């Protein structure tokens, strides 16, 4: 099992540097006084589905931008498909596919025209374009819509087309930045079906970012990122096992009194999240009867859940991913307001 990392420290690596599809050492990115990525280390093995899990603003997209040579690192080093992201940028770009958060398709063109344009830009041999296009479009269920204008596609269809386009030049590493953001749950599930089929059909490494806990479960390993650092890295099952307790969620008449009583009677630290009191405890189903008997604060409802990746995130960062996103949003609004006042 891989060891956790705190701050910017190193994590146990998946494979030797020579064999890694992605190898990152001490990578940082600063924007003025803001350090978006604060010295991260990790490696991704060939053929692995590797995920960055964290709230918006954690540094996930900045990291992908550096690995894809769209943003120059402030310090540190990284190789992708064996090529240095600083010194061999063209070679890196030839060997990767990238699906951005926001669509970059030309909606006035047909699906086929978008694919052919991409093939031209990447120098795909002309006699290989047609069979490769059919292969990847059939993989994402869009071959029959190849002559349709992209403007007529749904959000899920556009995302599937972007994944197909990213595969057109047979990359060794495919980067998916929040691949299902903004899609409804059913479409998100279908996108993941296509990603898993892709993994089975193509000899490719997949690196994705997400802030959806259920999506992170599909990854073979996950690096949880918060405030520009990797706080822990391991398999989903190992991460959940590391928490070692169940999550108890209470709705009470007085949350502050309940938190104080839990601390006094049970020596457990609880907190309010999303309008409820939450805390972790071993064997939650056996603890609940004691809670009713000894808490001394009226309880409206109680639920017990096995450890989830949200519990892992809270265990290592002290907050839930939703609360972290809310805090980041407030900070961005405050910074924007301060900037406007200064003008």
Going by C-alpha positions, the residue among 246, 261, 257, 214 that lies closest to residue 315 is 246
> Do 248 and 288 form a contact (C-beta atoms < 8 A)?
yes
Q: How far is CA 70 from the centre of its chain?
A: 18
Looking at domain 241-332, which of 2.40.128, 3.40.50, 3.30.70, 3.20.20 is its CATH number?
A: 3.30.70
Which neighbouring-strand residues pair with 299? 252
From first to last of the 343 residues of the chain, give the pLDDT tens digit: 344 443 443 333 444 445 789 999 999 999 988 999 999 999 999 999 999 988 888 899 899 999 999 999 999 999 999 999 999 999 999 999 999 888 899 999 999 999 999 999 999 999 999 999 999 999 889 999 999 999 999 999 999 999 999 999 999 999 998 888 878 888 888 888 888 888 888 889 999 998 888 888 899 999 999 999 999 999 998 998 888 788 899 999 899 999 999 999 999 989 888 889 998 888 888 899 999 999 989 999 999 988 888 888 888 887 777 666 555 555 445 444 443 554 4
How many Å apart are CA 257 and CA 262, to the nearest integer?
9
List b or e across 22-38, with b for residues whose CB sees 16 or more CB atoms inside 10 angstroms. Answer: bbbbebbbeeeeebbbb
* CB-based contacts of 109, cutoff 8 Å, min separation 6: 117, 149, 150
Helix (H, G, I), strand (E, B) or coil at 302: strand
Q: How many of the other CB atoms lie within 10 Å of CB of 242? A: 16
Tokens encoding 286: 């056996």
Interior angle at CA 110, CA 109 and CA 113, nearest 5: 80
How many Å apart are CA 34 and CA 62, to the nearest integer?
12
Burial degree of 108 (CB within 10 A; 0-12, 13-18, 19+):
exposed
Instruction: State residue 12's pLDDT score.
Output: 39
Q: How far is CA 30 from the centre of its chain?
A: 21
Instruction: State residue 233's pLDDT score.
Output: 96
Going by C-alpha positions, the residue among 297, 286, 293 that lies closest to residue 248 is 286
**DSSP label at 230?**
E
Tokens encoding 204: 């490719």
Instruction: State residue 179's pLDDT score.
Output: 85
Task: Return the axis-axis angle of helices 126-139 and 111-121, rounded to nearest 10°.
Answer: 130
From first CA to last CA, the distance across the chain in angstroms is 52
Instruction: State residue 103's pLDDT score.
Output: 86
Instruction: State residue 341's pLDDT score.
Output: 52
* CB-based contacts of 214, cutoff 8 Å, min separation 6: none
Domain 22-235 sits in CATH 3.40.50.1820: no
Instruction: State residue 164's pLDDT score.
Output: 93
Tokens encoding 42: 């990790």
How many Å apart are CA 187 and CA 189, to the nearest integer?
5
Going by C-alpha positions, the residue among 176, 157, 178 that lies closest to residue 97 is 176
- Give me the helices (H) in the chain, please: 60-67, 89-94, 111-121, 126-139, 155-167, 185-201, 213-216, 236-243, 255-266, 284-294, 309-317, 321-342
Domain ranges of the chain: 22-235, 241-332
């Amino acid at each position: 099992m891989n060891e956790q990392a705190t701050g910017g420290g190193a994590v146990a690596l998946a494979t030797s540097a020579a064999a890694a599809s992605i190898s990152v050492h001490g990578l940082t990115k600063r924007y003025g006084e803001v350090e978006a990525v604060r010295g991260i280390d990790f490696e991704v093995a060939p053929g692995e589905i590797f995920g960055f899990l964290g709230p918006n603003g954690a540094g996930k997209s900045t990291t992908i931008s550096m690995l894809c040579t769209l943003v120059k690192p402030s310090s540190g080093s990284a190789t992708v498909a064996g090529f240095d992201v600083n010194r061999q940028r063209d070679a890196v770009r030839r060997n990767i596919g990238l699906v951005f958060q926001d669509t970059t398709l030309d909606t006035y063109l047909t699906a086929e025209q978008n694919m052919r344009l991409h093939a031209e830009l990447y120098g795909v041999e002309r006699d290989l374009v047609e069979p490769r296009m059919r292969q990847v479009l059939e993989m994402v269920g869009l071959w029959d819509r190849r002559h349709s204008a992209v403007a007529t596609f749904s959000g899920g269809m556009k995302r599937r087309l972007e994944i197909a386009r990213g595969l057109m030049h047979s990359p060794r590493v495919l980067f998916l930045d929040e691949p299902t953001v903004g899609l409804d749950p059913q479409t998100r599930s279908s996108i993941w079906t296509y990603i898993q089929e892709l993994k089975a059909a193509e000899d490719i490494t997949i690196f994705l970012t997400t802030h959806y806990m259920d999506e992170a479960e599909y990854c073979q390993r996950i690096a949880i990122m918060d405030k520009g650092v990797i706080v822990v890295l391991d398999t989903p099952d190992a991460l959940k096992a590391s928490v070692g307790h169940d999550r108890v969620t209470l709705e009470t008449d007085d949350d502050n009194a309940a938190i104080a009583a839990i601390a006094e009677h049970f020596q457990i630290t609880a907190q309010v999240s999303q309008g409820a009191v939450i805390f972790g405890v071993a064997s939650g189903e056996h603890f609940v009867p004691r809670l009713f008997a000894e808490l001394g604060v009226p309880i409206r409802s109680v639920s017990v859940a096995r450890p989830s990746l949200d519990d892992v995130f809270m265990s290592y960062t002290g907050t839930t991913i939703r609360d972290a996103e809310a805090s980041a949003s407030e900070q961005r609004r405050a910074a924007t307001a301060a900037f406007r006042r200064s003008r």
